[in-house]
Chains A and B, each alone.
Chain A
Amino acid sequence: MAQSRQTIFLMGDPSLVLELGEICHQAGFAILYKPASGKDSAPFPKHFKKVNTIPRTVFVLCELSLDRELKKKNLLFIDKAAGASAVILSSSITVTASEQASWIRRPSRLVGISTMPTLLSQKLIELAPTIHTDKAVMARVQEFFARLGKELAIVQDRIGMVMPRILCMLINEAFFALTEHIASPQDIDLAMKLGTNYPRGPIEWADQIGIHSVVTILEAIHDDLDEDRYRIAPLLKQMALGAQWWGT
């Protein structure tokens, strides 16, 4: 087996590149990454090798941004630079895998994945193949995740997928409660952990995921389903713009 089969290329959201990169590193892959805007926004460990182009011998490529424009730009780069037989795994929480596949020359090699900070390290990853996805591509994707020790769940290709949508809506509800000053953030988290056995409180979870990512996902769901049900809590929107919570 060629050495290059052991290499994975990552680009996109730095925190996700870091989180998935570490998981791949643990599983014995060599990590190549291309920084988001030419320079590092976060210091990456030494075993992450920065590259400006993709060696033709890398077979698994991951695009991990939530922002639509950035994702398009990155995917067009990957599609052009990567070898013909490489498969593309792309985060499909905010843009469907089907739409992303329509941007590139060979849509059959793209599969959507659920990548959300704090969930990536868990045991399972959701896969959203499109109607174009090649069976051989799916087989290689499954083999790749088996090597990472991940279980897989194949879901329909929809904005928000399964866990990101449920989790972001829980967080949104907690922020509506906070916006309305019904309880303190500490008490909200405590109540959900002790009262319903949630693994983390929704507010601390939002902090760990990154408020900006939560809002980006909720905006995509709101745009897609176009229902009042998915409108974003005012406080959450403001915090995504850099505000701090100062309530009682």
Chain B
Amino acid sequence: MKTIGIVGAGTMGAGIAHVAAISGCRVFLHDISDEVLTKALERIETELQKGVEKTKITAEQASGARSNIQPTSTFNDFSNCEVVIEAALEDLEIKRDIFRELETACTPETIFASNTSSLSITAIAASIKSTARVVGLHFFNPPHLMKLVEVIRGNETSEHTMQRSAELVSQFGKTPVVVKDTPGFIVNRIARPFYGEALRLLGEGVASVEEIDRIVRLEGGFKMGPFELMDLIGIDVNFAVTRSMYEQTFGEPRYRPHLIQQTMVNAGMLGRKTKRGFYDYSQ
């Protein structure tokens, strides 16, 4: 895999561009905003320098990666791409519009991947004619550090598309896992009870926030407890994921959000980013 197109130069798009460029791919990084593109290149530059300082990559690799990335605000060069990874906003209509444009701009062989974490790949694919080449590639944040990529098989995704996508993930130095297009895929789904049961236990008065976190770390052997992790992720983000799972499954009780989450979001206590969540970070 030599030439990759990336649509959307936000946190995830820039991170994926970084990973692809380091692995030796030529990368066309697309965004409609020049400002977003400039910021993305700055962020990639910072991370590359950090990588060299920490001797994770050599200076040659960093300069190679730099010259591999070409920012663009059009899809003109996308006819050269073997794979396009879309990392735009999490909005079905926006993604569908992008895929329709890509179908015109790219060759029929180009694989179309969406880095969605919450939308259905099948629903995104349905906007174009050639649905067999549409796949989900769910990178985790930050993409250059997280080893996992979920490769999501939509209803119409071909075996060929799945195989090439998994190969690309391996070429990026990441570990692919294959999952059917279902709400939350693997990680966001199976992690739900980690937060959901902790919130229930708190709500039922079984133990306090601090005690539940301490128990999960010291008895369970987890790196972080559920409440400190929700504070890190953002209580609003975590609540939105849970809510989306609950709605997408037409009210499956295992994914039912908790009143505590809603109250914290209403109070503007969103975790570390607002200095207050389940813990106080104002000091």
A interface residues with partner B (beta carbon < 8 Å): 114, 119, 122-126, 151, 153, 155-156, 158, 161-163, 165-167, 169-170, 172-174, 176-177, 180-184, 187-188, 190-192, 194-200, 202, 227-229
In the bound complex, how far is the Cα of B254 from the Cα of A174, in angstroms? 12
Which B-chain residue is minimally distant from A187 (CB atoms)?
B177
- The one of A126, A169, A187, A197 that contacts B178, using a Cβ cutoff of 8 Å: A187
Query: Given A182-B182, A183-B186, 11 more contacts at CB 8 Å?
Result: A153-B219, A156-B205, A162-B216, A167-B220, A174-B190, A177-B190, A180-B180, A192-B187, A195-B187, A197-B224, A227-B253
Q: Inter-chain contact count A-B, CB under 8 Å?
A: 138
B32 located at the interface, meaning its Cβ lies under 8 Å from any Cβ of chain A in the complex? no
**Cβ-defined contact, A188 with B190, below 8 A:** yes
B215 located at the interface, meaning its Cβ lies under 8 Å from any Cβ of chain A in the complex? yes
- The one of B205, B218, B223, B254 that contacts A197, using a Cβ cutoff of 8 Å: B223
B212 located at the interface, meaning its Cβ lies under 8 Å from any Cβ of chain A in the complex? yes
Most A C-beta atoms less than 10 A away, residue of B147, B182, B219: B219
Interface string of B161-197 (1 = CB under 8 A from A): 0000000000000010111101001110111111011
Answer whether A172 and B221 are a contact pair too, CB < 8 Å, given A153-B211, A162-B215, A184-B178.
no
Answer whether A122 and B221 are a contact pair too, CB < 8 Å, given A162-B201, A163-B216, A183-B177.
yes
**Cβ-defined contact, A183 with B180, below 8 A:** yes
A182 — which chain B residues lie within 8 A by C-beta?
179-180, 182, 185-186
B105 located at the interface, meaning its Cβ lies under 8 Å from any Cβ of chain A in the complex? no
- The one of B218, B223, B226, B253 that contacts A229, using a Cβ cutoff of 8 Å: B253
**Cβ-defined contact, B192 with A173, below 8 A:** yes
In the bound complex, how far is the Cα of B67 from the Cα of A2, in angstroms? 77
B204 located at the interface, meaning its Cβ lies under 8 Å from any Cβ of chain A in the complex? yes
B231 located at the interface, meaning its Cβ lies under 8 Å from any Cβ of chain A in the complex? no
Please, how many residues of chain B have a CB less than 8 angstroms from a CB on the other chain? 44
Most A C-beta atoms less than 10 A away, residue of B190, B201, B224: B190
Answer whether A192 and B191 are a contact pair too, CB < 8 Å, given A166-B226, A169-B197, A184-B178.
yes
- The one of A163, A181, A188, A229 that contacts B186, using a Cβ cutoff of 8 Å: A188
B150 located at the interface, meaning its Cβ lies under 8 Å from any Cβ of chain A in the complex? yes
**Cβ-defined contact, A163 with B178, below 8 A:** no
Which B-chain residue is minimally distant from A203 (CB atoms)?
B190
Name 17 interchain pairs, CB-CB below 8 A, sorted by A: A163-B219, A163-B220, A169-B193, A169-B196, A170-B190, A173-B192, A177-B190, A187-B177, A187-B186, A191-B148, A191-B150, A191-B186, A192-B187, A195-B186, A195-B187, A199-B220, A202-B190
**Cβ-defined contact, B148 with A166, below 8 A:** no
Answer whether A192 and B219 are a contact pair too, CB < 8 Å, given A153-B211, A187-B179.
no
A122 — which chain B residues lie within 8 A by C-beta?
218-221
Most B C-beta atoms less than 10 A away, residue of A125, A126, A187, A191: A191
What's the minimum C-beta distance from A180 to chain B, rounded to whole angstroms? Answer: 7
A190 — which chain B residues lie within 8 A by C-beta?
148, 175, 177
B256 located at the interface, meaning its Cβ lies under 8 Å from any Cβ of chain A in the complex? yes
**Cβ-defined contact, A163 with B147, below 8 A:** no
Which A-chain residue is minimally distant from B175 (CB atoms)?
A194
B218 — which chain A residues lie within 8 A by C-beta?
122-124, 151
In the bound complex, how far is the Cα of B216 from the Cα of A161, in angstroms? 12
**Cβ-defined contact, B180 with A124, below 8 A:** no
- The one of A126, A183, A198, A228 that contacts B179, using a Cβ cutoff of 8 Å: A183
B146 — which chain A residues lie within 8 A by C-beta?
194-195
In the bound complex, how far is the Cα of B191 from the Cα of A182, in angstroms? 15
Which A-chain residue is minimally distant from B210 (CB atoms)?
A153
In the bound complex, how far is the Cα of B215 from the Cα of A151, in angstroms? 9
In the bound complex, how far is the Cα of B227 from the Cα of A162, in angstroms? 13
**Cβ-defined contact, B201 with A192, below 8 A:** no
Which A-chain residue is minimally distant from B205 (CB atoms)?
A156
**Cβ-defined contact, B215 with A124, below 8 A:** yes
Answer whether A177 and B220 are a contact pair too, CB < 8 Å, given A156-B205, A182-B179, A194-B148.
no
B75 located at the interface, meaning its Cβ lies under 8 Å from any Cβ of chain A in the complex? no
B237 — which chain A residues lie within 8 A by C-beta?
none
**Cβ-defined contact, A114 with B219, below 8 A:** yes
**Cβ-defined contact, B221 with A199, below 8 A:** yes
B96 — which chain A residues lie within 8 A by C-beta?
none
**Cβ-defined contact, B189 with A177, below 8 A:** yes
B193 — which chain A residues lie within 8 A by C-beta?
166, 169-170, 172-173
What's the minimum C-beta distance from B204 to chain A, rounded to whole angstroms? Answer: 7
